[in-house]
Amino acid sequence: MSKLLMFAAMGFVSALSLPTVFADDHAGMKKEHETAHAQHDKWAAEHAKMRVEHLRALAMIAKLQAHIYEHEAELVEHDEKIRAHEDHAMHHAEEIAAHEKDGDASNHEHLEKEHAAFKAEHGAMAKKHDEVKAGHEKLHEVLTKLMELMKKVK
């Protein structure tokens, strides 16, 4: 060990006054540290960007979930209309049976009007059912494709 290093180790000489003999040896290490630091900064920036993208993806998933809930609400609403329509049909059938029993001719016109309203209501419900079903099929198709794509992501 050189005397200067020995004196530095003993505290007699400041380490700052050591000769720069090793400067060339340390230059490579310093360069590697600089390169690593630059890489770390780049990685941190990439991670920040990925986190923002993840948050936006979660927001999209929340919107998708809301869309599914809205579709479910539409199904519940349509089910209630079907139930009410079925109830209407039952009452109409009861009115027809009563009309056939008593044979009141004035009641016949009322039954025809009621039946025309029933048919119109049924046609509108059939159209709504087709819309709900088509919406469900499209939603299911999109979600299935999304899940297939997600299987490819690690």
Q: What is the pLDDT of residues 110-138, one digit of tens each?
A: 888 889 999 999 999 999 999 999 999 99
Predicted confidence at residue 84, as pLDDT, reads 94
Predicted confidence at residue 109, as pLDDT, reads 84
Predicted confidence at residue 48, as pLDDT, reads 98
Query: Are the C-beta atoms of 44 and 115 separated by less than 8 Å?
Result: no
Inter-helix orientation angle 23-102/105-151, to 10°: 160
Predicted confidence at residue 106, as pLDDT, reads 72
How many other β-carbons are positioned within 10 Å of the β-carbon of residue 47?
10
* Annotated domain spans of the chain: 23-151
Predicted confidence at residue 110, as pLDDT, reads 83
**Structure-token pair, residue 64:** 């998708």
Query: Are the C-beta atoms of 99 and 150 separated by less than 8 Å?
Result: no
- pTM confidence score: 0.64
Predicted confidence at residue 100, as pLDDT, reads 85
Predicted confidence at residue 55, as pLDDT, reads 98
Binning the chain into helix, strand and coil, the percentages to the nearest 5 are 90, 0, 10
Tell me the backbone φ, ψ of residue 102, rounded to 5 degrees. Answer: -95, -20
All residue ranges of the chain with pLDDT < 50 are 7, 13
